[in-house]
Structures are given as structure tokens and as C-alpha cells.
A and B are shown apart, each in its own frame.
Chain A
Amino acid sequence: MSGWLAHLPLFPILLPLVGGAAMLLLSDSRRAARSLIGLGVTLAQLVVALALLALAGGQLPGVAGDTIAVYRLSGWNAPVGIVLVADRLAAIMLTLTALLALASLVYGMARWDRMGAHYKPLFQFLLMGVNGAFLTGDLFNLFVFVEVLLAASYGLLLHGSGAPRVKAGLHYLVINLLASLLFLIGVALIYGIAGTLNMADLALRLPALSADERVLFETGAAILGVAFLVKAGIWPLNFWLPGAYGAAAAPVAALFSILTKVGVYALLRLGSLLGAVAAPAPFGGIWLFGIGLVTLFFGCAGMLSAQQPQRMTAYCVIVSAGTLLATLGLGGATLAGPALFYLGSSVLATSAFFMLAEMIERSRAFGANVLAVSFESFAVDDPFDPERPDEVVGIVIPAAMAFLGLGFVSCALLVSGLPPLSGFVAKFSILAAALAEPATAMWQASLLLLAILGSGLVGVVALARMGMRIFWSSDARMAPRLRLIEAGPVAFLIAICVGLTVGAGPVAAYLDAAGQSLATPQAYIDAVLTVPAKMSALGGSR
């Protein structure tokens, strides 16, 4: 592996950084230029992510076998220098991020990017933080990238302004600042005990700790785990989530559905690396299983009680997080693959659902009022004013109500896990793996079965009720005008889910291999810590 391939892992961070910075140089009024940059950079990220996916899976021509691409910044070797690591798991998450980003970027171009300043640069900086968090190989840079994504997300959450957003943003900010402080305490404790922050090096040094040190290390890991669980939206640390996601602008909420998965990813990654020598409490086992189930229950109750589509989707995110953590808590290498499949499917579904929910709200008279109020408070002209310039932009799609109905049904099927879409495949493979896995106790597998099937049932009830109220009620509602660039992203995301269903075999095989590589972290540790024979001036590879 040489040439440009060696530099590939840097691009998911570099591209949004350069793109966002370039946009800042242009004034806010040069919308077309900014859109063009945003679109180009996001497309390039998708290409890079796909290339990394192929590289990590050993499917790139000219590269033999699975490759864990390690990028050594400035050519410094691992325990001292900073490394970016792209293995299968990281590549999967990068691809998901890029797909979501593309969809919500295009959706946002329809009208949302005019509701406040600097929407597009913030969007790119958020992507930079997310990509960096997936790629980084050490704990402190994980903190830095999480802060980058949080800082951008504060701005994006407030995008469009209005009292509900500011209130939700205030709570979101406080919770996340506190979680960041916990993160720092955990990182500092771990450094104080183990003397390293590189995750691979940490895994190697763990067995050498004395019993006393081990206790302190576990304390640090537990505090770190709490910070991740706040980000993942786990009960009882998730009361901020419905408010924040329910109040955010639709394309922002659509992108936010990957943010909770950053916490899940961090838990998975650290759990995998530390798991070689008995993972500390928050990273696995019965404990995670338990709070996963409670989260699932909480999310289901929330779905049943939610009145607005967007708020209900926020609860779908919680249900998804609960299902994931309960599954991962069961442990076992065979469960990680199906869990990743579920992660991908549910992230795409909730993202599409957020956009759909906003379009549906638009068809209701009262929803329009709320929107108008928030437009007014930001001194933006009325969105329904026929003289607004954006009304002529783009192609209006025919049969908007039919599209909304079809999209709603698809999302409902995906979220509740009914056939024929990928939500069903994901839940089915989780349950099949849980029942077949010899390492899990029978009662745990049965409990998971009950919880997942129960959550599916609750999902169907809640979504069917919502659907009936929206589409079949006799309330006066106007047929919304949907533009192609609004309907397109939703169709795109649902089409990916259909693709996941049709190509479930190869995708599941890839994800299973990712799950297996998590169970055997030695390859990751070797790839990070091995000093390349011939040091080039800029980075290298295994």
C-alpha cells in the first residue's frame, strides 16, 4: 500500500475542515458558491469513505487481504505520536456519516440554510468532528473531536432560533458540557494510572497493572463510560434527547441521528480493546444489557405518548440506542455484526423520518403557525410568502401527499422492524444470533427476544396511530408543496435501506467480519503499534 492510498484516512477530517473554512471566507449571501462547495466536499467524503470501506474489507484491487490503514500524523510512531486508524468498524461508520450528510445537506438546501447564519460551515465542522471521532486512535483526540462535533452541534441545534430551540439548546449545552467534564476526568484518571492515552497501547499495558491501580483504572473507565452513555442517549441520562432532537431543524435532526452513535461507537471500540483483559463495567456485560433494556422501555413509552412526528422520531432514536446497547451487552462476537446492521438500518431510517416528519408537519395548519413564529423571531421573511425567492427554486414534485404516505409507511416498517425492509432483517439477525450464541444465558436471550418484539409491537401501534391521525383524519389540512430536493433525500435514504435488504447477504458478511475483528483486537493493536520498516516522511501503513 503506497502513494495516495496511504493518506486516505486523513481525508475524512481534512475535507470538511478545508471545505468549511473555504465557506467562511465567502460571504453568507453567496449561497450558490457555498452550496457547491458543500456538495462537492460531502460527495468527496462519500467517495473516500467508500474507498476506505473497500480497503478495510480487502476488496480494493492491488491490496491483498484486510487492511487496517494507520495514518501516523507527521510520521511519529504510535504510542508517542497521534494516529488515525481506519479499520472495518471505522470505515462503516464513516460511510454511514457520509450518506446521512449528503441527504441532509441536500434537504437543507431547500430552505433551512436561509434561516440563520453559517449553517453550511457548521455542518461541515460537525462532519469533521464525527469523522475524526471515528478515526482517532487515542482517547484525548477522541475528546477533542467530540468537542469539535459538539461545538458545531450547539450552533446547528440553535439554527433557526426561536424560544423552543433556545430552551432545548440550553439544556443540551449544559448536559454536554458536564459530560465533557466527566470525559476529561476519566481520561485523566486513565492517564494517571496507565501512563498512556493511545487505545492500543492501553490494551497492552492493562495486564501489568497492580490490583490497586486496577481499581483506580476501572473507576476512570467507569466515569469515561458515563460520558459515552450520555452521548449515546441511555436512560437515565437521556432526558435531554427528545427535547433537543424534537426542537432541532429537520436536516439538523436528521444528521444528529448519527451523533448518538458516536457514543455507541466509542463504547464498542474501547470495549473491544480493553475486553481482551476483562472489560470494565460500562463497556459490556449484564450491566449494559440491563440499562439497554430499560432504555428500550423508556423509548417505547415515549413513542406511545409523543404527539408530534418529530418528537416521536426522537424517541425512535432512543429505542434504537436501547436495542443496540442491550444487544451489545449480551456480548459474544456473533452479535456485533447484526448489531452493526441494526445500527446502520436504524440510523438511516430515523434520519429519513426526521425529514419526513418536518414535511408532514408542514401540511398541518398548526405546525405552520409554529414554524412561522420561529421564522419571525429570526426576522426571516415568511416561508409561505409567495414572493419568497426560494419558492421558484427547484421542481415541485407531483402527488406530494402520496409520497409522504409512502415514505411514512416505509419509515414505520423500518423503525418497527417489520418485513420486507431492512429493519426486519436487522432485528431478525440480532435475535437469531442471540439465540444461537452459546456464551449468552438462555434467560438473557429470551428477555432480549421479548423486549425487541415488544418494542416492535409498540412501534407499530404508535406509528399506526400517528399515521391515521395524519393521513386519514378529516382535519382541514393543505396539501404541502414539496420540492424535488426535499423529497429526493428521503427517497434516497429509504432506497439505501431497500438496498440493504436486497444485498443483505454481502452486507451482513462484511459486518460480521467487522464484529469478529472487534472480538480479536490483536490485529488492531499490532497495526497501530508496529513501527513500519521504512519510515516515509509523511505517514505510513502496515
Chain B
Amino acid sequence: MELIYALAIGVLTGSGVWLLLRPRTFQVIIGLSLLSYAVNLFIFGMGRLTPGRAPIVGSVAAANAALYADPLPQALVLTAIVIGFATTALFLVVLLASRGLTGTDHVDGQESES
């Protein structure tokens, strides 16, 4: 499972970086989204992959850390998702404003001369 997980992060990051380097604003925003998915998965993975375990210590079991999933990365991921969502939405607004003001969807506001 670790291998698949790592591969998924790698594919998302690779695609994200490639899209980020493209000249169209829409490609850039998709690239940023893919990158943020990859990062969120990465944070989650940093708490170690523990399938089928609760992140909250129950009252019955002894406080044995091995029986539980690490709750902190889950909290971090939640925060990161919220912040990433908000900033991506903001980027979308700027993207539209740029499109409206310059009449092109090139990131530099003008077509490159090639």
C-alpha cells in the first residue's frame, strides 16, 4: 500500500509541476490544485499509514500509541485543505480579472512572440 500511495503522490506532483510550467492560467490553476492534493496526501502519509484504527484514544484500551492512528496530521490536512481551497478560489478570481483586463489567458497578460 505504501508503494501505491507514494506513486500516487509522485504522479500528482509530476503532473502538477508540468502544468504549473505551462503558459495558460487555467493550466496553472489545475497544476496548483494537483500539487496541493499531492501535498495533502503527503502530510497525511507523514502520520504513517494505519488502516482501520481510530485517531481518538478510547477510555477502555490502555494508552498504547501503536493501537491508534496519529490524529495530528489529520488535523493539519484539514487546515491545509481549507486554506488551499480559499487561496485557489482567490486565484480563480484573479485569473478571471486578468482575462477580462488583458483579453488573453496567458500568464504574462500578453502572448509570447514566437
Contact = CB atoms under 8 A, between A and B. Distances in A.
B91 A174 contact: yes
Contacts of B47: 191-192
A140 B73 CA distance: 11
A147 B83 contact: yes
A144 B90 contact: no
B79 interface: yes
Interface string A202-230: 00000000000000000000000000000
A171 B42 CA distance: 26
Nearest to B76: A140
A170 interface: yes
Given A185-B42, A189-B46, A151 B76 contact: no
Nearest to B87: A177
A184 interface: yes
Q: Which of A154, A155, A167, A169 has the most CB of B within 10 A?
A: A167
B39 A181 contact: yes
A147 B87 CA distance: 9
Nearest to A147: B83
Interface residues of A, number: 31
Given A169-B94, A171-B107, A178 B35 contact: yes
A379 to B, nearest CB: 13
Nearest to B79: A144
Nearest to A189: B46
Query: Dominant SS at the A interface?
Result: helix
A188 interface: yes
A161 B96 CA distance: 13
Contacts of A163: 101-102, 109
B46 to A, nearest CB: 3
A281 interface: no
Given A147-B83, A163-B101, A163-B109, A170 B94 contact: yes
A188 B32 contact: no
B94 A178 contact: no
Interface string B85-112: 0111011001101100110000111000
Contacts of B91: 173-174, 177
Contact of B46 (A166, A177, A191): A191
A170 B46 contact: no
A262 interface: no
Given A167-B102, A167-B108, A191-B73, A181 B94 contact: no
A194 to B, nearest CB: 11
A388 B95 CA distance: 32
4 tightest A-B CB contacts, nearest first = A192-B46, A188-B43, A188-B46, A167-B109
